[in-house]
């Protein structure tokens, strides 16, 4: 969920900047995409978008004068050292990308950019934007829900500034980076953001039921029996991270998935790569509607199938296996029926998901000659 374009500037995450961040997250979380490389150029571009429309003339330019931060004992970096300190920030993130958690890296850039104070104005906006970009990309997904972390940081200024001050004191008195207070704050704010993900409405559920009725239940019984395991099918919609899964199959298969979800927190363990993870089978956005037919998916590396943002596919009779230990061997699981899977993104939103499911089911039934 993005910002409300009608909200006052001081109450929302700038729309242009937010969309720019979403584009970068999508670009760097696709299958085979390269790690995001943080550069001074990228930071200056974020700054330029942050202060666009404010009348400031130095968007994207490092300051050339000394500044003070009101309410803080910290003295920002001298103008002649700004570029060097920004390089230090970028180098830390790039070299620690796989060694540190997403929350540590996000907290680090949030603190370090404010500590440097590289711009004459708009440092807070740029730091919050950069932190959110790093967090989202390192987690490997566009983070749904509202209010977003940048919005929460603006609403809870006192706590935010106290956390920055704690990091300042740790660095200036003990000469080491300690952003644990900021990390904890970001974790709590992400939980708050994710808890604001809108539930699938009754209207959407009704529309999906109509899709199944029109596209599947009116097909020849022999076709339904062959593909879904029974002529009398049931359906269930699942939300798994930023994936939506429409399960269609025998009622017993729906109940099996529900029991698995209750026991493991995921109806389809290890099937869908989550949190930026990779998998042997990859579904790209431009493969929307591909049909993955009846074979065992190998999840020994962690996950079986990886979806790009805005990708959608059909998985028939899924079987997922992985290697276990001799003491605790877990051969995996299998289900009769079909999973219609979409991964949300800028193009596929929860509002558009029903249309995509309609497309997937129609394409699937046409491939079966129904």
CA–CA distance, 162 with 258 (Å, rounded to integer): 44
Same domain, 256 and 338: yes
**Residue 79 dihedral angles phi and psi, to the nearest 5°:** -50, -40
Q: Which of 194, 211, 228 is the last residue of a domain?
A: 194
Q: Are residues 284 and 341 in the same domain?
A: yes
Last residue of some domain: 194, 221, 251?
194
Asked if residue 150 and residue 210 are part of one domain, the reply reads no
Tokens (6 digits) for 209: 């039921």
**Does any domain span residue 1?**
no
Residue 2 has what pLDDT? 42
Q: What is the pTM of this model?
A: 0.62
Domain of residue 248: give its range. 202-367
Other residues' Cβ atoms within 10 Å of the Cβ of residue 270: 24
- Domain identity same for 160 and 244: no
Q: Do 275 and 129 share a structural domain?
A: no
Clarify whether residues 288 and 324 are in a common domain.
Answer: yes
Do β-strands 281-283 and 305-307 pair in parallel, antiparallel, or remain unpaired? parallel
Whether residues 155 and 235 fall in one domain: no
> Which residues of the chain fall short of a pLDDT of 50?
1-13, 325-327
Domain boundary among 149, 173, 194: 194
C-beta of residue 110 within 8 angstroms of C-beta of residue 23: no
pLDDT at 270: 93
Q: What is the pLDDT of residues 302-338, one digit of tens each?
A: 999 999 999 999 999 999 998 764 445 557 899 999 9
* Cβ-proximal residues to 89 (8 Å cutoff; 6+ apart), any chain: 38, 43, 108, 109, 112, 113, 116
Reported as a single tens digit per residue, the pLDDT across 149-195 is 988 898 888 899 999 999 999 998 888 899 999 999 999 898 877 76
Show the CA angle centred on residue 235, arms to residues 227 and 352, nearest 5°: 105
CATH number at residue 110: 1.10.3290.10
Q: What is the pLDDT of residue 337?
A: 95
* 131 phi and psi angles, rounded to 5 deg: -60, -45
Is residue 3 assigned to a domain? no
**Domain total in the chain:** 2
Prior bond of 281 cis (ω within 30°): no
SS3 257: helix
Q: What whole-number distance in Å separates Cα of residue 13 and Cα of residue 2? A: 8
Q: Is the same domain home to 60 and 168?
A: yes
Is 16 within 8 Å of 3 (Cβ atoms)? no
Q: Is residue 45 domain-resident?
A: yes
Does residue 177 sit in the same domain as residue 261?
Answer: no
Same domain, residue pair 148 and 274: no
- Domain-embedded: residue 2: no
Check if the beta carbon of residue 22 is closer than 8 Å to that of residue 142: yes
């Amino acid at each position: 969920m993005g910002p409300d374009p009608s909200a006052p500037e001081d109450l929302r995450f700038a729309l242009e900047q937010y969309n720019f961040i979403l584009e970068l997250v999508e670009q760097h979380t696709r299958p085979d995409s390269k790690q995001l490389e943080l550069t001074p150029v990228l930071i200056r571009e974020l700054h330029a978008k942050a202060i666009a429309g404010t009348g400031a003339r130095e968007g994207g330019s490092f300051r050339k004068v000394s500044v003070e931060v009101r309410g803080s004992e910290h003295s920002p970096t001298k103008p002649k050292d700004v570029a060097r300190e920004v390089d230090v920030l970028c180098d830390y993130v790039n070299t620690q990308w796989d060694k540190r958690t997403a929350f540590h890296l996000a907290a680090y850039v949030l603190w370090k950019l404010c500590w440097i104070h590289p711009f004459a104005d708009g440092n807070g906006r740029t730091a919050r934007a950069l932190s959110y970009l790093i967090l989202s990309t390192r987690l490997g997904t566009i983070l749904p829900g509202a209010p977003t972390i940048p919005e929460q940081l603006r609403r809870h200024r006192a706590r935010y500034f106290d956390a920055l001050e704690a990091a300042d004191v740790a660095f200036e008195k003990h000469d080491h980076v300690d952003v644990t207070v900021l990390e904890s704050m970001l974790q709590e704010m992400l939980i708050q953001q994710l808890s604001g993900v809108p539930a699938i409405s009754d209207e959407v559920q009704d529309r999906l039921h109509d899709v199944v009725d029109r596209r599947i239940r009116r097909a020849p019984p022999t076709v339904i029996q062959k593909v879904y395991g029974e002529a009398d099918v049931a359906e269930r919609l699942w939300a798994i991270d930023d994936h939506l899964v429409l399960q269609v199959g025998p009622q017993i298969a729906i109940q099996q998935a529900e029991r698995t979800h209750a026991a493991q927190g995921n109806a389809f363990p290890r099937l869908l790569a989550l949190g930026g993870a990779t998998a042997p089978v990859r579904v790209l956005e431009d493969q929307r509607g591909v049909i993955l037919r009846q074979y065992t998916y190998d999840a020994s590396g962690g996950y079986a199938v990886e979806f790009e943002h805005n990708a959608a596919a059909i998985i028939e009779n899924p079987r997922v296996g992985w290697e276990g230990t001799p003491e605790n061997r877990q051969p995996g699981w299998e289900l009769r029926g079909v999973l219609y899977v979409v991964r949300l993104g800028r193009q596929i939103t929860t509002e558009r998901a029903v249309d995509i499911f309609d497309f997937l089911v129609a394409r699937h039934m046409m491939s079966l000659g129904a």
